[in-house]
Structure 1
Amino acid sequence: MNLLHHPTSAVAEERQRLRLDVGGAVQGVGFRPFVHRLAREEGLGGFVRNTGAGVTLEVEGPAPAIERFLDRLDRDITAPAAIHRRALRRLAPRDEREFVIAASASDGECSAVILPDLATCAACLAEILDPDDRRYRYPFTTCTHCGPRYSIIEAVPYDRDRTTMRRFAMCPACQAEYDDPASRRFHAETNACPDCGPRLAWWDRHGAVVAMADRALLQAVDALRRGEIVAFKGLGGFQLLVDARNDDAVCRLRERKRRPAKPFALMVRTLADAQAIAQVDAEEARLLGSAAAPIVLLRARPTASAIAPAVAPGNPQWGVMLPYTPLHHLLLHELDFPLVATSGNRGEEPIVVDETQALARLDGLADGFLVHDRPIRHRVDDSVVRLIAGQPSVLRRARGHAPLALDDPASTTPLLALGGHQKTAVAVAVQGRIVLGPHIGDLGGAETREAYGQSVDDLLGLYRVQAQAVACDRHPDYHSTRLADRLGPAVRRVPHHLAHVLAGMLDNGLDGAVLGVAWDGNGYGDDGTLWGGEFLRVDGAQHRRVASLWPFCLPGGEAAMREPRRAALGVLHALFGAPAMAMTALAPVAAFAPTERPLLARMLARKVNAPSTSSAGRLFDAVASILDLCQQASFEGEAAMAVEFAAARAERAATVALPRLVENDGMLLVDWRPTLTDLVAARGEGVSVEALAAAFHEALAEAIVAVATRIGCDQVLLTGGCFQNARLTELAVSRLREADLSPYWHHRIPPNDGGLAAGQAVAAARFPQEENR
């Protein structure tokens, strides 16, 4: 970086001073100690300090030394630290010879990147397993490279006295490390040891303290060996742990948690243990061992008989993670078997973060409680990542991945975006950046709504945002929409599927004309119907719905969201009309009692309590029912997953007619009726479920290419919950590339409704007048 000019040796030796304001991942990652070391090695004076916007540093010395310092700043920085923005300014020299880490400045703007929580580093792991180390078996061992960040922060900039660690005063030994430039705990804000840091406790189911410190850990180990369910206070909230080999124990957890079929996540001790139960490629291994340490969806090995069938009934995938805190490592080190590690909640409630609250909300669910006294300021569930088309896609953005800061130069007005109703997360726009908060959950229950309100307050407070507008979904009955009406003088209602497309564009850094293929379960459409199979063309400040899937009716309305058989009746009615209800050989018709069928037939004939939808998600549900894979779903996406998994088992796809494109009032309709007619006929002729599921996926991929070719848009973005389906996404990506088109899909922002808030924030900046209330 040739920023300082020194044409003569005399000028080169003159002292100069430079100020550098840095933004990015520069707090809580050892960046200040890194700068301190570089400056001292180059013989420079000055200081470095945290600020609300990031880090400010001033260096003073000969120009060549400053040049070397700047070069090394870029060359030697290591992840997760990263510089995203910088501003340089020359200053008058002050003849400073020493370089120091100065006290943080908390005034001014607040746009610093708040780092997610980081998994235990190798050095800290080695210490807790070393009998000669003073932190041997200490479950809260951290350094500048690992440990809690977002889950404990109370205010920016990130310093110990602005985190929940402020109540633990460092002992002399820890303070000496904190003050030592040669230590990796130099200015490590979470530094602690057994003498001064947080402590473990084991409680019985009534909250009585049974054991403390290491004996508490061993009590939990014994309970797990006995097949008991342990409530475990982790990094960002409670988990429920149980022996993953013990089918009776796992079934007991399902019964108590009221979770009949949704897969549980697994925690295994090492990568080798993960490879023993699942197929793990190089990228998946990297994800498992990354600082984010997410749950990674892996293909189960059929020979891995040690895992209880109840862990993931009928599912060929397992969600697997490695230990990511010292406490997890110590627990797994004592056990010789994998654990189910699922969210510490009941039903669809948010995860519990407080041990006293856990006694009430997990009462009757857990047999014992392994707790600690380090408060959790922000709840963060475990993130979920899946490899799709060879690249990681974050499906649930939480621990290790949240909050996420993305540059968006148009987002200059302070704004709050509230997301949707399911898989909700909130976002703020501040200083040309959109910050997406962590996964909260579905807003159907009072507890989740309370957690949602807290998340809104937290994000606004951390970034000191005085929102001048509030963005939300257009659905009038969402809790998030009603909250927007209470919060904002300026409410911007953003079309659901436009938000999906804009979130994907932000994720991929797309400009110019984009054809967004937004397929999901449902969203409120501009015409009052339920959309979900949309093609939106976005170009600059213009957007237009250019195509959609052929609509059909959902008898029973919202009941069809939980019963794929109802969506199937709507599809069969679209194919065959009123006679469909007499086709009792078809699985969806047979799934209803004879006394129920006349009422359903009247609903469809009169379109009473049978709203019209273009939803790709409901079309997947219908196929799941027609193929008799799922008639009633116990969790969202269960039916669609069954179709994807059946397709994966197919040796080859059956032959069915492809959807046709129909012009309709200035836009295209993707008429899937020829495909479904063939699918129903082929099933009646005994063609395998697997071959037909594969054919359905291929037909949908061909329809995407057909629309993109007809519209004439080279950039094609796949977005919405349907593109969590790896088979559908990979088929579409492959066929689009064969057609010389450029496909894009989600990576950092979830394709499901967890990404809506980011898209709403983009919409509010890009279309401020159009979306105003």
Structure 2
Amino acid sequence: MKWQIQGFAIKGIVQGVGFRPFVFNLAKQCDCSGDVCNNGLGVEIRLCGQQKNIDLFIQRLQSELPRLARINQIQSLPENQLDIESFSEVIESVKNNQPAIFAIRATPQKIANSAENNQKISTLISPDASLCDDCRSELLDPKNPRYRYPFINCTHCGPRYTIIADLPYDRPFTTMAGFELCKSCQQEYSDPQDRRFHAQPNACNTCGPQLSLLNNQGQPIDGDPIEQTLERLRQGEILAIKGLGGFHLVCDANNADAVAKLRARKHRPAKPFAVMAANTASLERWVTINPSTADLLKSAQAPIVLCQKQSQIELQINGVADGLNQLGVMLPYTPIHWLLFHQAAGQPATEAWLNQPQDLLLVMTSANPSGEPLVIDNREAINRLSNIADYFLLHDRDILIRNDDPLLIAGTEQQPSIMIRRGRGYAPAPVFLPKLLNKNNDLNILATGSYLKNSICYSQGEMAHFSQHIGDLNCVGNIEFQKEIYRHLSQAYQMQPDIVIADSHPESPAVRFAQQISQQLNIPLLQVQHHHAHIAAVMAEYQLAQPVIGLALDGLGFGGQSLDISQVADNKSLLGGELLLVNADGCQHLGGLQPLALPGGDAAAKAPWRMAASVLFSTGNSQQIKSRFKDFAAAAFTETMLQKQLNCPKTSSMGRLFDACASLLNICQVNSFEAEAASKLEAAAAKDASQSNSAAASEQPTSLARITSSSSQPFVLDLLPIFNVLIQSSIPPISISRQNQLAYWFHQQLIEALARWVISASKKTGIKDICLSGGCFLNQILAQGLQQKLQQLGFNVYLPICHPVNDGSISLGQLYAARMHLNKVQPQQHKVSGDK
């Protein structure tokens, strides 16, 4: 028998996900001898056997992966790296035609002590995962030793990223280090044939974490915590429940008084809540669930998914997501969640109930005082949330890194689901970038993201560690959270940045953070303009290197120099709608929306009626300001401000134009949460969109917008002609049906205008690749309508799917723009605001 010795280095998410026992069993099935171990790069496999068996092993290794495993690279190892001497016993057994023997080697000590030895780490941290079906069956089986144990898990599910302090992923480096395994759990942990072999969070009721229920004074509540929690939810109380990546505030979604109480205490008058139900059969009462959405809800990531509401839902769960056409829904993803629904179903002994509609519907919202970081610590929860929650369902397994629920928009048969917020289940899974052509490829690059919806991106070569949602950097807590993630990734991967990338806004805390790192480490700092980063993030997702036309539409972006390109707008412009040419050199400003006055400055972002007043003034209809907005005491003064241009900075924000339209149609006059007016405008348009013979749509079949030019901007898009018609068509009083018609008509006019704008730029540049980005493209009528329109005209159109289209991807875009730039040049120090 001819046999071979071969070794393989496996990179990817291959630690803590059942990969080594999978390799162990697969090798035996393929009649291969050898061993497997973790190391700082991932997993190393040594094989000895017939070539055909080794080839079969590698084929099945890639096609039969465990639930959470992901292979990014399989690299053959040269013989001199295989330590043949330690492999002699295996070789002898193969020589003597003995049955295949395979072992799981311990992690080499120099790797286990990587932090002390400055050993490079590039294995990947697995995101947290929802409870798998096998563990759920054991959890709900009265005959199982782990029946109703709230922390059941295995190598296919449970906490990962949020409990890891260091790599490699072994129990002593997690927050489970303080829980010594009992004899039974240790036996599972040590058995390669067991599903819990080297499951680091493995535990049971004898040796593992425990639940407790406290009131908001910190006093324990007697009785079974799950039973007592459900009873209090049914009584209309608000519970703070500790989960995987942080606490949730929870109440009964069917109890309007409880929902109203939660809104009042959290100072959240209208922002929509997400709800959790036992299964898709329960959710179908409230929203439309297609097969792809059902699969997404049941996936290891288990995100919140925005789904289309069923008709008449407002009458049944009033107060959860009023005035919107979508509802965020999710399924249970931790044992605690499943136990609550199991308790509500009467603790059935069989699993039939899992596919039957259940009555319990829970509001699940992030447990944080408005705008502040998610609460993760027990004492912190009671201190910060006792004025919101009546009771606290706690446990003693610490959360090391906060990670909020991910949020996606449901896909359709034609469109995939779309990421809005990156979080639990997705972060910190890496993004892989094209290899650079020069030695800059090995540089570690840190991108510090944007002011709003901050994230950071930290690369090792082609691998970019893309963080979870951090939040707006307008509070100290989120600024510290950003630094916390930076420190955690630096520690876990034993890396330090060689270059740092920042936004171009001089006052952003993210820029100041980048400046501090640049100065402390004496490394170059590059700056990438906000909209440039938006477009580069799309390019990163689709691995584009060729020049593109970028259309960025959002609320606000600071203009200025981006890398080494100076052909941009006024360095202090407040840009919200911009057309760019983006390539490896940087970005070139092609045009923007015609600026409008922003009466009251930042106050206009919270008061759509102010932007409507600006539109009325700019179209020669200022006499309508007082009559339309007579309920607002500042209406008369706002007219004076516009006439005298007092505190009326100019803005080209597309977001503010959606506000203006929503106000003129009397859909929303005041924003109580970000994009409330725009969201309600889209909901109104969606109600009319299904009517193909829409009266409003037929009134103006072609775009009314004008495209003009100036010395600094070849293409300026003026949307005021659209508003001229809208103003005349919306004289109060206006019926709801007419609101819906005009909302849909406005969207169609925008799509036509934006398409013409892109066509004009394409004719000048010869570029047919178009990237769309910015928060306004969360509007699905706009995003899908414009994408389809441009595709019909022969353009290649790229919209973000896997990464947020809003500012949540700015850090990824900054990193990608910098790497494209570094592919051509050596890094240099770029002067930033504050440098001397």
Check whether the contact 1:547–1:707 (CA below 8 A) recurs between aligned residues.
no
Q: How does 1:211-226 map to 2 (within 5 A)?
A: 211=222, 215-226=224-235
Question: Is 1:717 paired with 2:761?
Answer: no
CA gap 1:112/1:306 in 2 versus in 1, 3 angstroms: farther
2:830 partner amino acid: N
1:369 partner amino acid: F
Distance across 2 between alignment mates of 1:537 and 1:757: 19
Q: How does 1:189-208 map to 2 (within 5 A)?
A: 189-208=200-219
Q: Deviations over 1:55-104 (max 9, x none)?
A: 22222223232222112212322443221112112316543424222222
The aligned counterpart of 1:480 is: 510
Q: Deviations over 1:154-183 (max 9, x none)?
A: 112212221111111111111111222222
The aligned counterpart of 1:91 is: 79
2:329 partner amino acid: V
Residue 658 of structure 1 is aligned with which of 701, 704, 715?
704
| 1:543 Cα deviation after fit | 2.3
The aligned counterpart of 2:372 is: 349
Q: Deviations over 1:2-35 (max 9, x none)?
A: xxxxxxxxxxx34422221111222222111111
| 1:671 Cα deviation after fit | 1.3
| 1:566 Cα deviation after fit | 1.9
What SS does structure 2 have at the residue aligned with 1:119? Answer: coil
The aligned counterpart of 2:540 is: 506
| 1:693 Cα deviation after fit | 1.0
Question: Is 1:545 paired with 2:589?
Answer: yes
Distance across 2 between alignment mates of 1:20 and 1:141: 33
1:161 partner amino acid: P
Aligned residue pairs, count:
753
The aligned counterpart of 1:696 is: 746
Q: How does 1:236-635 map to 2 (within 5 A)?
A: 236-304=245-313, 307-335=316-344, 336-387=359-410, 390-408=415-433, 409-410=435-436, 412-489=442-519, 490-526=524-560, 527=570, 528-576=572-620, 580-584=621-625, 587=628, 589-593=629-633, 596-597=634-635, 599-635=637-673
Query: After the TM superposition, which of the residue ranges 288-297 and 677-686 deviates more from structure 2?
Result: 677-686
Check whether the contact 2:584–2:821 (CA below 8 A) recurs between aligned residues.
no
| 1:235 Cα deviation after fit | 0.7
| 1:562 Cα deviation after fit | 1.4
Residue 54 of structure 2 is aligned with which of 49, 66, 70?
66
Distance across 1 between alignment mates of 2:525 and 2:583: 24
| 1:602 Cα deviation after fit | 4.5
Which blocks of at least 5 consecutive residues in structure 2 are unaligned? Answer: 91-100, 345-358, 561-569, 832-836
Check whether the contact 1:292–1:400 (CA below 8 A) recurs between aligned residues.
yes
Distance across 2 between alignment mates of 1:109 and 1:658: 59
Q: How does 1:37-48 map to 2 (within 5 A)?
A: 37-48=25-36
What SS does structure 2 have at the residue aligned with 1:95? Answer: helix
The aligned counterpart of 2:719 is: 672
What SS does structure 1 have at the residue aligned with 2:249? Answer: strand
Q: Deviations over 1:475-496 (max 9, x none)?
A: 1111212222222133222100
Question: Normalised by the size of structure 1, how large is the TM-score?
Answer: 0.94
Question: Is 1:22 paired with 2:7?
Answer: no
Distance across 2 between alignment mates of 1:543 and 1:770: 18
Q: Deviations over 1:533-559 (max 9, x none)?
A: 111122333421223211111011111
Q: Deviations over 1:110-157 (max 9, x none)?
A: 222221111011110000110000000011111111111111111122
The aligned counterpart of 1:637 is: 675
Check whether the contact 1:44–1:59 (CA below 8 A) recurs between aligned residues.
yes
1:311 partner amino acid: V
CA gap 1:705/1:206 in 2 versus in 1, 3 angstroms: same
Check whether the contact 1:228–1:242 (CA below 8 A) recurs between aligned residues.
yes
Distance across 2 between alignment mates of 1:475 and 1:738: 37
Check whether the contact 1:497–1:534 (CA below 8 A) recurs between aligned residues.
yes
Distance across 2 between alignment mates of 1:206 and 1:17: 65
Check whether the contact 2:276–2:364 (CA below 8 A) recurs between aligned residues.
yes
Q: Deviations over 1:620-654 (max 9, x none)?
A: 11111111111111111111101101101113243
Residue 111 of structure 1 is aligned with which of 119, 122, 133?
122
Distance across 2 between alignment mates of 1:771 and 1:338: 55
CA gap 1:307/1:486 in 2 versus in 1, 3 angstroms: farther
Check whether the contact 2:559–2:574 (CA below 8 A) recurs between aligned residues.
yes
The aligned counterpart of 1:4 is: none
Check whether the contact 1:205–1:368 (CA below 8 A) recurs between aligned residues.
yes
Distance across 2 between alignment mates of 1:459 and 1:567: 42
Check whether the contact 2:19–2:66 (CA below 8 A) recurs between aligned residues.
no
Distance across 1 between alignment mates of 2:684 and 2:258: 28
Q: CA RMSD in A?
A: 2.0
What SS does structure 1 have at the residue aligned with 2:577? Answer: strand
What SS does structure 1 have at the residue aligned with 2:622? Answer: helix
Question: Is 1:745 paired with 2:733?
Answer: no
What SS does structure 1 have at the residue aligned with 2:284? Answer: helix
CA gap 1:461/1:722 in 2 versus in 1, 3 angstroms: same
Query: After the TM superposition, which of the residue ranges 167-176 and 443-452 deviates more from structure 2?
Result: 443-452
Distance across 1 between alignment mates of 2:706 and 2:625: 28
| 1:460 Cα deviation after fit | 2.4
Check whether the contact 1:60–1:96 (CA below 8 A) recurs between aligned residues.
no
1:751 partner amino acid: V
Check whether the contact 2:626–2:635 (CA below 8 A) recurs between aligned residues.
no
Check whether the contact 1:500–1:755 (CA below 8 A) recurs between aligned residues.
yes
Distance across 1 between alignment mates of 2:726 and 2:404: 40
Query: After the TM superposition, which of the residue ranges 485-494 and 353-362 deviates more from structure 2?
Result: 485-494
CA gap 1:482/1:648 in 2 versus in 1, 3 angstroms: same
Check whether the contact 2:407–2:420 (CA below 8 A) recurs between aligned residues.
yes
Query: After the TM superposition, which of the residue ranges 102-111 and 280-289 deviates more from structure 2?
Result: 102-111
Q: Taking every aligned residue pair, what percent have the same amino acid on both sides?
A: 38
Distance across 1 between alignment mates of 2:790 and 2:829: 32
The aligned counterpart of 2:685 is: 647
| 1:218 Cα deviation after fit | 1.2
Distance across 2 between alignment mates of 1:51 and 1:306: 57
Check whether the contact 1:708–1:714 (CA below 8 A) recurs between aligned residues.
no
| 1:771 Cα deviation after fit | 8.4
| 1:462 Cα deviation after fit | 2.2
Check whether the contact 1:437–1:459 (CA below 8 A) recurs between aligned residues.
no
Query: After the TM superposition, which of the residue ranges 101-110 and 394-403 deviates more from structure 2?
Result: 101-110
| 1:305 Cα deviation after fit | 6.5
Check whether the contact 1:649–1:690 (CA below 8 A) recurs between aligned residues.
yes
What SS does structure 2 have at the residue aligned with 1:255? Answer: helix
1:241 partner amino acid: V
Check whether the contact 1:25–1:115 (CA below 8 A) recurs between aligned residues.
yes
Q: Deviations over 1:360-385 (max 9, x none)?
A: 10012111110000000110111101
1:709 partner amino acid: I
| Larger strand fraction of residues | 1
